[in-house]
Structure 1
């Protein structure tokens, strides 16, 4: 059924175009290493919560937008190998290719797909 990596982060709202370019370049590299699909979404209706929420989880500031992303892989094994190769790729050189957001507030995890309708 496949495997999915999910990500949530806060991106400075005025860096939307820079984030999109950064993500598009990374998506091509993920696909080179076996990803089937890479999806980046820009928050449009992401409410603050009282106990928990996407904005609270990533400590979203007033001038930032929550981004929710996922990468679909054919299997966890392909993901493990693909992610290892991705991390060695020159695109991950943070001096030459810095992320346009605070990576310390990035939330991520790998998930087995339970339902895909």
Structure 2
């Protein structure tokens, strides 16, 4: 069964292109270390809630867009090995000075998840 790392961040809307470039550079490392795919999603139809919402979760400001991302791995063992390799690597693509995050990393939310159900799509 697969394993998923999920992420939510508040990215300054003006930094959209910088975010895409940062992700394009860094995400390729996850693929090289065993991820099946990496998906980066720019908020488009994200409602404000009365009690909780994505904006509140990452303390997004008016000039920021919520980004929802995930990394799909074949299994947790591959993910753990890939993350360990990445953290121990001196790969310049993961160097925060050479490829700085174009958002406040202190407000990034992330976690690892075990899928418990999956429905196949129509493929169309």
Q: TM-score range by the shorter chain?
A: over 0.9
The match for 1:95 is: 97
Structure 1 residue ranges without an equivalent (≥5):
none
What do the CA deviations read for 1:69-94 (whole angstroms, capped 9, x no partner)? 00000010100110111223322322
Question: What's the TM-score, normalizing by structure 1?
Answer: 0.95
Higher radius of gyration, 1 or 2: 2
Mapping 1:4-83, distance limit 5 Å: 4-83=4-83
Query: Are residues 1:112 and 2:114 paired?
Result: yes
> Which ranges of structure 2 fall in alignment gaps of 5 or more residues?
120-124
Moved over 3 A (4+): none
After TM superposition, the score normalised by the length of structure 2 is 0.90
Cα drift, residue 96 of structure 1: 2.1
State the secondary structure of the residue aligned to 2:30: helix
Which string of whole-angstrom CA distances, capped at 9 and with x for unpartnered residues, describes residues 44-82 of structure 1? 011111211100000000000000000000010100110
Q: RMSD across aligned C-alpha pairs, in angstroms?
A: 1.0
Measured in 1, the distance between the counterparts of 2:106 and 2:49 equals: 21
